[in-house]
Structure 1
Amino acid sequence: MSWSDIFYPGNPERRERLIRKTQELRLLMKNNFRATNQLIEALKEHLGLFFSPVILNENATVKQNCDVIIGRIREIQVEVAKIDQRMKEKLEPTLYEKLKNMYLPDYEYKQFSSIISAVCGATGLASTFLVGWLITNGYILTNVALACGLLATGFMASVVVGVLFMGIDMIVSAILGSIERDQLESALAEYDRALKEFRPASEKYQDNITYVKVRLEITRRVGNYIHSFF
């Protein structure tokens, strides 16, 4: 036990709380990178859009890694905005609303598919579904980018990500040093504020990318089945 712990007996418990929050942050960041790469793969396969995969750099800071995610999401948003605008121009308003709401009746499959092909150079019901999902759920991309931006300006911004993968003693040494009770409480409060925004945005983002992967596979099979009748 350190002299700090003798004078501030609550510090060990505060350190443990900070470590748990650090571990949660690490997991959320890893999963956000993974989900982003899954979205990138779907965009390439179904819409022919090419983006470099994002890589979690353990030698870089939390801010630098957040900036990578934010940058790639903004690039994707630019392309989604272009597709959305072209869909509005190509489709009748009622058809555009059906696409946006992902209400795609079988008998209108060929009409949607042909326009998606003209706009994106891609064919198939899976491509149509992905376009509709991207247009409808653009806010999910925005929310996770904003949450990353908040995290990149806080207490953890300058911490090297590799530190988050170390054991408790190493994390305490690298992050906390000799700070005392008040500083620990301040760090915990900042973590709580950041995670309050980052956690739900990240979980929603990850859940939606998983949903898209499953739906794309189902839609691909349905599209192949429908295509055989036309």
Structure 2
Amino acid sequence: MKLSDLLYPNNPKRRQDVIDLHQQLLACMQLNFKATNELIGALNAHLGAKIIHIKMKEEGTIKQNCDIIIQALNDIQQQLGNFDKELKEKLEPVMYQKLYDIKQPELEKIGIACKIVSIVLGEATATAGAIVVKLIGSNIIMVTVNKLVALLAQIGVSVLGGLGISVLGLGIEIILHAILGAVEREHLLACIQSYEQHLAEFKEASDSYQHAIHKVSAMVKDKAE
């Protein structure tokens, strides 16, 4: 047994708590990477986007991987913003407003979107029109993206940001290699507090984001059949 464990008998449990919380955070991030790639795939396939798919950096830190997702989400927002600008420029004001009118029948909005997608891309499918309506005509995706970006940025600059992600399943000592010694207890407590502070909000925002994207993906699959 380590001397520090004799002096601080609760440290072994705190180490395991850090590992457990770290695993929860990584699992959540992995699902966000997957969902983001689903959305990128839909935009590339149906709206002519050229956004690069993302991959977790296995030897990177939490901050580096947060930054990867943030950059992808910024690219997605820019793509949707550009397409919205095209819609506004090429649609009559009344028709443009219909895309954002929650009382407007969705099929009619999809028809309007298809016409503009045809002008912008030269051709359009019902799937492309539906994606425009779901992603641009609805603010659900944008709201969830904005919230997720804000939380990822907070996590990146927190005490967690410098921790590597490759420790999943590799043992307690690896995650703590940089915070051993006389101040281990304080670092453990700081890590636990930071994880607990961010994880609940991050999970909630991630669930909303993933749910919104899965709805788009299901709609794309339905239109393709």
Asked if these proteins are the same fold (TM beyond 0.5), I'd say yes
Offset from partner CA, 1:79-129 (integer Å, 9 cap, x none)? 111111222333345543443349545467544321222134451221112
Measured on the aligned residues, the alpha-carbon RMSD in Å equals: 2.3
- Report the CA distance shift for 1:120/1:77 in structure 2 as closer, same or farther (over 3 A): farther
For 1:115 and 1:195, how far apart are their aligned partners in 2? 41
Q: 1:227 corresponds to which residue?
A: none
**Alpha carbons 1:62, 1:156 under 8 Å: kept:** yes
Q: 1:195 corresponds to which residue?
A: 199
Structure 2: 5+ residue stretches without partners: none
TM-score (norm 1): 0.84
Q: Percent identity?
A: 32
**Count of residues in Structure 1 that have an aligned counterpart in Structure 2:** 220
Q: 2:132 corresponds to which residue?
A: 131
More displaced 10-residue stretch of structure 1: 111-120 or 147-156: 111-120
- Report the CA distance shift for 1:203/1:102 in structure 2 as closer, same or farther (over 3 A): farther
**Alpha carbons 2:113, 2:133 under 8 Å: kept:** no
What are the residue-to-residue correspondences of 1:96-175 with 2, within 5 Å? 96-100=96-100, 101=102, 103-106=104-107, 110-135=111-136, 136=138, 137-172=141-176, 174=177
**Alpha carbons 2:47, 2:128 under 8 Å: kept:** yes
Q: 1:21 corresponds to which residue?
A: 21
Structure 1: 5+ residue stretches without partners: 222-230
TM-fit CA distance, 1:185: 1.5
**Helix, strand or coil for the counterpart of 2:9?**
coil
More displaced 10-residue stretch of structure 1: 179-188 or 203-212: 179-188
- Report the CA distance shift for 1:30/1:209 in structure 2 as closer, same or farther (over 3 A): same
What are the residue-to-residue correspondences of 1:216-227 with 2, within 5 Å? 216-221=220-225
For 1:102 and 1:164, how far apart are their aligned partners in 2? 47
More displaced 10-residue stretch of structure 1: 19-28 or 157-166: 157-166
For 1:102 and 1:219, how far apart are their aligned partners in 2? 22
**Helix, strand or coil for the counterpart of 1:64?**
helix
Offset from partner CA, 1:126-181 (integer Å, 9 cap, x none)? 11121122222212222221111111101121222212342334334x35423433
- Structure (1 or 2) with the greater helix fraction: 1
For 1:146 and 1:125, how far apart are their aligned partners in 2? 33
Amino acid aligned to 2:194: E
TM-score (norm 2): 0.86
Q: 2:67 corresponds to which residue?
A: 67
For 1:105 and 1:28, how far apart are their aligned partners in 2? 32
For 1:115 and 1:152, how far apart are their aligned partners in 2? 39
Amino acid aligned to 2:221: E
Q: 2:39 corresponds to which residue?
A: 39
**Alpha carbons 1:33, 1:56 under 8 Å: kept:** yes
